[in-house]
Amino acid sequence: MSLVISSITINTGQLQNMLEFYSRVGFKFQMVRVDKGSEVYRAVHDGVEFSLYSLPTAQKAQVPSLQLGFQITELENTVADLAKVPGSLLILDPTEMPDGKKAIILDPDGHSIELCQK
Protein backbone atom coordinates (compact mmCIF):
# COMPACT_ATOMS: atom_id res chain seq x y z
CA MET A 1 0.00 0.00 0.00
CA SER A 2 1.16 3.52 -0.82
CA LEU A 3 0.63 6.45 1.58
CA VAL A 4 1.13 10.16 0.88
CA ILE A 5 0.22 13.04 3.20
CA SER A 6 -1.96 15.33 1.08
CA SER A 7 -3.42 17.88 3.51
CA ILE A 8 -3.50 19.24 7.04
CA THR A 9 -6.41 21.43 8.15
CA ILE A 10 -6.69 23.26 11.45
CA ASN A 11 -10.04 24.72 12.54
CA THR A 12 -9.43 27.71 14.79
CA GLY A 13 -11.16 30.47 16.68
CA GLN A 14 -7.91 32.48 16.54
CA LEU A 15 -7.45 32.82 12.78
CA GLN A 16 -5.34 36.01 12.75
CA ASN A 17 -2.94 34.74 15.42
CA MET A 18 -2.67 31.36 13.69
CA LEU A 19 -1.99 33.06 10.33
CA GLU A 20 0.76 35.15 11.90
CA PHE A 21 2.28 32.14 13.67
CA TYR A 22 2.34 29.81 10.66
CA SER A 23 3.39 32.60 8.28
CA ARG A 24 6.45 33.08 10.48
CA VAL A 25 7.10 29.33 10.20
CA GLY A 26 7.32 29.94 6.44
CA PHE A 27 3.88 29.20 4.94
CA LYS A 28 2.61 31.56 2.21
CA PHE A 29 -1.17 31.71 2.66
CA GLN A 30 -3.86 32.73 0.19
CA MET A 31 -7.49 33.34 1.10
CA VAL A 32 -9.91 30.88 -0.51
CA ARG A 33 -13.68 31.23 -0.78
CA VAL A 34 -15.75 28.28 0.44
CA ASP A 35 -19.49 27.61 0.38
CA LYS A 36 -19.73 27.15 4.16
CA GLY A 37 -19.09 30.85 4.87
CA SER A 38 -15.89 30.41 6.89
CA GLU A 39 -12.68 32.29 6.21
CA VAL A 40 -10.14 29.84 4.83
CA TYR A 41 -6.46 30.40 4.17
CA ARG A 42 -4.41 27.80 2.30
CA ALA A 43 -0.74 27.29 1.62
CA VAL A 44 0.92 24.48 -0.31
CA HIS A 45 4.36 23.25 0.70
CA ASP A 46 6.07 20.33 -1.04
CA GLY A 47 2.71 19.23 -2.46
CA VAL A 48 0.96 19.20 0.94
CA GLU A 49 -1.99 21.56 1.39
CA PHE A 50 -2.00 23.31 4.79
CA SER A 51 -5.25 25.13 5.62
CA LEU A 52 -6.50 27.31 8.46
CA TYR A 53 -10.31 27.56 8.80
CA SER A 54 -11.94 30.27 10.87
CA LEU A 55 -14.28 28.56 13.28
CA PRO A 56 -16.55 30.46 15.69
CA THR A 57 -16.06 29.41 19.31
CA ALA A 58 -19.67 28.18 19.50
CA GLN A 59 -18.94 25.56 16.81
CA LYS A 60 -15.59 24.35 18.19
CA ALA A 61 -17.16 21.59 20.29
CA GLN A 62 -18.99 20.23 17.21
CA VAL A 63 -16.13 20.22 14.70
CA PRO A 64 -12.78 18.39 15.01
CA SER A 65 -9.95 20.88 15.48
CA LEU A 66 -7.64 18.97 13.15
CA GLN A 67 -8.15 17.19 9.84
CA LEU A 68 -5.45 15.18 8.12
CA GLY A 69 -5.67 14.07 4.51
CA PHE A 70 -3.89 11.04 3.08
CA GLN A 71 -3.72 9.60 -0.43
CA ILE A 72 -3.76 5.82 -0.29
CA THR A 73 -4.02 2.98 -2.79
CA GLU A 74 -6.46 0.58 -1.11
CA LEU A 75 -9.29 2.80 0.14
CA GLU A 76 -12.04 0.21 0.72
CA ASN A 77 -9.80 -2.25 2.60
CA THR A 78 -8.15 0.48 4.68
CA VAL A 79 -11.49 2.00 5.69
CA ALA A 80 -12.83 -1.43 6.67
CA ASP A 81 -9.73 -2.05 8.82
CA LEU A 82 -9.84 1.40 10.46
CA ALA A 83 -13.55 1.08 11.28
CA LYS A 84 -12.67 -1.95 13.45
CA VAL A 85 -10.46 0.13 15.76
CA PRO A 86 -12.28 0.89 19.04
CA GLY A 87 -13.21 4.58 19.24
CA SER A 88 -13.04 5.24 15.49
CA LEU A 89 -16.16 6.49 13.69
CA LEU A 90 -16.84 6.32 9.95
CA ILE A 91 -18.31 9.66 8.82
CA LEU A 92 -18.30 9.21 5.02
CA ASP A 93 -18.27 5.80 3.35
CA PRO A 94 -15.95 5.53 0.32
CA THR A 95 -17.62 7.85 -2.20
CA GLU A 96 -16.69 8.86 -5.73
CA MET A 97 -15.89 12.62 -5.86
CA PRO A 98 -14.66 14.82 -8.73
CA ASP A 99 -11.06 14.63 -7.43
CA GLY A 100 -11.07 10.92 -6.55
CA LYS A 101 -12.74 8.40 -4.31
CA LYS A 102 -12.83 9.60 -0.67
CA ALA A 103 -13.81 8.50 2.80
CA ILE A 104 -13.76 10.36 6.13
CA ILE A 105 -13.24 8.67 9.48
CA LEU A 106 -12.64 10.03 12.96
CA ASP A 107 -9.64 8.61 14.79
CA PRO A 108 -10.06 7.49 18.44
CA ASP A 109 -9.20 11.03 19.62
CA GLY A 110 -11.87 12.54 17.33
CA HIS A 111 -9.56 13.98 14.65
CA SER A 112 -11.02 13.94 11.15
CA ILE A 113 -9.04 11.80 8.69
CA GLU A 114 -9.80 12.17 4.97
CA LEU A 115 -8.61 9.24 2.88
CA CYS A 116 -8.45 9.66 -0.89
CA GLN A 117 -7.73 7.12 -3.60
CA LYS A 118 -6.85 8.77 -6.88
| Cβ(69)–Cβ(7) below 8 Å | yes
Condensed to tens digits (0 to 9), the pLDDT of residues 45-56 reads: 999 999 998 887
Residue 60 confidence (pLDDT): 54
| Cβ(39)–Cβ(93) below 8 Å | no
- Percent of the residues in the chain that have a pLDDT greater than 70, as a whole number: 92
| Cβ(68)–Cβ(42) below 8 Å | no
Condensed to tens digits (0 to 9), the pLDDT of residues 80-109 reads: 999 999 989 999 999 999 889 999 999 888
- Percent of the residues in the chain that have a pLDDT greater than 90, as a whole number: 57
| Cβ(111)–Cβ(64) below 8 Å | yes
Element (H, E) at 75: helix 75-83
pTM across the whole model = 0.75
Task: Give the whole-angstrom CA distance, residue 41 versus residue 54.
Answer: 9
Q: Is the pLDDT of residue 43 over 70?
A: yes
